Amino acid sequence: MKPVLRTQGLSKSYGSRPALIDVTLTVPAGRVVGLVGPNGAGKSTLLNLAAGMIAPTAGTIEVLGSRPAADAAQLARIGFVAQDTPVYAGLTVGDHLRMGRRLNPRWDDALAEGRVAQVGLDPAQKAGRLSGGQRAQLALTIAAAKRPELLIFDEPVASLDPLARRAFLQSLMEFVAELEVGVILSSHLLSDLERVCDHMIVLTGSRVQLTGDVEDLLATHYRLVAARGGLDALPPGVEVIHAEHTDRQSTLLVHDTVGAVPGLAADTEHLNLEDMILAYLTRAALGAVGARAPQTLEAQR
Amino acid sequence: MIWLTWRQFRGQAVVALVALGALAIFLVILGLQLRNVYDANVGCAGCSVESGAQLLKDKYFSVLLLTGFLIILIPAVIGAFWGAPLVARELEAGTHRLVWNQSITRTRWLAVKLSFVTLAALAFTGALSLLFTWAASPYDRALNDRFDPLFFPTRNLAPLGYAVFAVVAGITIGLLTKRTVIAMAVTLAAFTAMQILMPTVIRPHLQGPITENVQFTAVAAHGIWTNPAGQVSVEGYDVPGAWMLTNEAKLVDSTGAQPSKAVTEVCFTGDFAKDKACLEALNLHSVLTYQPADRYWTFQWLEFGIYLLLALLLAGYAFWRIPRGLS
């Protein structure tokens, strides 16, 4: 199977402001992909590039093996729900389904009608009068009923209250199971993605910090605690993501690509996803602040 | 896609049809009235064609002029209210991100929307132009001044060109500004600029005008005056049906030189008829520039063609722009 997403040196700038810098990654098929990072990290830019809404400044991007939005056939393969889930305020829910039916060759009417009934949308209601959660459900329905091979959601739950958020993600997971469709969704909150995604891309400061299957990531990241100085020499292939030192002991968060960690320290445990991603975000934030942060750490020794 | 375009356009179409109905009733009444007046004063046995035409002019010049302005205003309004929001409103509301992710390319999306609204504008303006041309035809027959810049843009083909241009300009400007209100304003400004440039700078030169040396006759002159240097100007030399590019002609003698003050000054006594006869006796000439009446249709087609070409260029730009992402 073709990878869902493959980019090579992908960059995008708006004027002189870079939004995405040199992103190279491959996401294998059949994953529910979470794209996480703080606001302004470049998540929307990456997803809009994947949907073909905007064109890259440099580099290449392929989605399901083809250039995004290259033609009608490629558009039919991808369902993209943009941020704020735009709908036509003046058109009714029924009009939106009719639009979907007329503009998509693989439109699944039964699915669309079924979902609208299930989430309690009134087909005669103007879309402009829907609540945020209802609008997101409508957008999800349109995207899913075109029967794409890949669904892309840009911050689908950002504007929803916790209850609607849960309901939306619930719907989404039902779709994924039912339709055997690939999914990429982004959020600035890991908690939204943690339960549903099996592949993560962590983006911050316009760069990819971490990417991989959740299972692999969990298996290769450790927290090591040892006496101060006991971990100064790490074997090659073990990368320190974050280090904290007190007078007596050192705590390291490491990424082990070679399987060398077990046995290095008495106190070794796997990291959970949240701590892992936080460690990467912290590292990126410290790097962005400049050379001051390491000096502070240095001074504490 | 046609369905969606129609669904989004429906409200505007209803407004347009109501307006068209009201205008059609007005134009039909105007046309019938003009026909009655024409038959009673110009087309009747033994009537003076000249005084009949003058009567028509006195009674209907203003209303035809103002209605003509309306006929030009309508393409401008169409451009601002149909063309400009067509893409700009989608970009403003973000709904382009919904529709561009259906299984239809942006190029096709734009092609359907642009064609649909342009055809609607053509139909609307065409119906009005046809009705107005019909309504004004007795007047035009009697006065023979449809080539005049005040009337030329309001009849026959010209309004159709304006409509196509206005709609396509609105769409393309909307694509560039991404803001509906700004696009509307810019579209109106562009339309107005073209309406000023066309008759003053472009249209007079579409074909080389005819220049003619005309003998001054008392009959043809509507007004004469002299300046302190003795230069005599004459107003109202009309070549029937032609577009006069010379409004006031300076009188020269047979050698082409300005007659001396001493020669002309004696002719200005205050008695208009006598003064004209006096000047006629001096064997004076004036040089007139004009576009002759038989070029009327050539100029209509050229006017239509130029606006169509501009619209095509703008549309070409929009189609080049839209698949390339918007930012």
Distance CA B180, CA B91 (A): 9
Partner B, chain A 150-209, Cβ-Cβ below 8 Å: none
| DSSP class of B259 | P
| DSSP class of A188 | S
- Higher confidence at residue A289 or residue B317? B317
Inter-chain contact B105–A72, Cβ cutoff 8 Å? yes
Distance CA A13, CA A59 (A): 12
Inter-chain contact A99–B326, Cβ cutoff 8 Å? no
Can you point out the beta strands (E) in B266-310?
285-291
List pLDDT tens digits, range B11-52. Answer: 999 999 999 999 999 999 999 999 988 888 877 777 777 788
CA distance A91 to chain B (A): 8
| Residue in B101, B105, B113, B324 to test binding to A, most A beta-carbons within 10 Å | B101
**Domains of chain A, CATH where assigned:** 5-205 (3.40.50.300), 216-300 (no CATH)
List pLDDT tens digits, range A15-71. Answer: 889 999 999 999 988 888 999 988 888 999 999 999 999 889 999 999 999 999 888
Half-sphere exposure of B182 (CA within 13 A, CB side): 12
Residue A301, pLDDT score: 38
B326 confidence band (pLDDT: 50, 70, 90) = low
Residue A297, pLDDT score: 39
List pLDDT tens digits, range A144-200. Answer: 899 999 999 998 888 788 888 888 888 888 878 888 888 999 988 888 788 888 899
List pLDDT tens digits, range B226-260. Answer: 777 777 777 767 777 888 887 777 777 777 777 77
Residue B307, pLDDT score: 95
pLDDT over 70 (residue A290): no
Identify the CA nearest to B130 among candidates B50, B229, B20. Answer: B20
List pLDDT tens digits, range B171-223. Answer: 999 999 999 999 999 999 999 999 999 999 988 888 888 888 877 776 667 77
List pLDDT tens digits, range B125-159. Answer: 999 999 999 999 999 888 888 888 889 999 999 99
Mean pLDDT of A267-289: 83
Please report the DSSP string for A242-296 in residue order: EEEE-SSEEEEEEEESSS--TTS-SEEEEPPHHHHHHHHHHHHHHHHH-THHHHH
Residue B207, pLDDT score: 87
Residue B48, pLDDT score: 78
pLDDT over 80 (residue B5): yes
Q: Does A121 touch chain B (CB under 8 A)?
A: no
Distance CA B76, CA B82 (A): 10
| Residue in B99, B103, B107 to test binding to A, most A beta-carbons within 10 Å | B103
Distance CA A97, CA A82 (A): 17
Q: Does A37 touch chain B (CB under 8 A)?
A: no
pTM metric for this prediction? 0.85
Identity of the residue in B98, B103, B324 whose CB atom sits nearest the CB atom of A75: B103
Residues of A in contact with B1 (CB under 8 A): 102-103
Give the domain ranges of chain B: 2-206+296-324, 210-294
A289 confidence band (pLDDT: 50, 70, 90) = low
- Higher confidence at residue B95 or residue A228? B95
A288 confidence band (pLDDT: 50, 70, 90) = low
Identify the CA nearest to A60 among candidates A4, A12, A16, A28. Answer: A12
Residue B145, pLDDT score: 84
- Give the B-side interface with A, CB within 8 Å: 1, 3-4, 7-8, 11, 93-95, 97-106, 108, 324-327
The radius of gyration computed from the CA coordinates of chain A, to the nearest angstrom, equals 22
Residue A292, pLDDT score: 40
- Angstrom CA distances, A269 to A200, A228, A233, A263, stand at 21, 18, 19, 11
Inter-chain contact B325–A55, Cβ cutoff 8 Å? yes
Inter-chain contact A82–B94, Cβ cutoff 8 Å? yes
- Higher confidence at residue A290 or residue B227? B227
Residue B325, pLDDT score: 64
**Mean of per-residue pLDDT scores for chain A:** 86
Residues of B in contact with A105 (CB under 8 A): 103
Inter-chain contact A79–B101, Cβ cutoff 8 Å? yes
Q: For a pLDDT cut of 70, what percent of chain B falls above it?
A: 98
List pLDDT tens digits, range B49-71. Answer: 778 888 888 888 999 999 999 99
- Higher confidence at residue B277 or residue B294? B294
| Residue in A67, A103, A126 to test binding to B, most B beta-carbons within 10 Å | A103
Residues of A in contact with B11 (CB under 8 A): 90
pLDDT over 60 (residue A253): yes
List pLDDT tens digits, range A150-164. Answer: 999 998 888 788 888
Residues of A in contact with B327 (CB under 8 A): 14, 54
Inter-chain contact A76–B103, Cβ cutoff 8 Å? yes
The two counts, helices (H) then strands (E), for chain B are 10, 6
Distance CA A132, CA B217 (A): 82
Is the dihedral angle over the CA atoms A261, A263, A268, A271 positive or is it negative?
A: positive
Residue A230, pLDDT score: 74
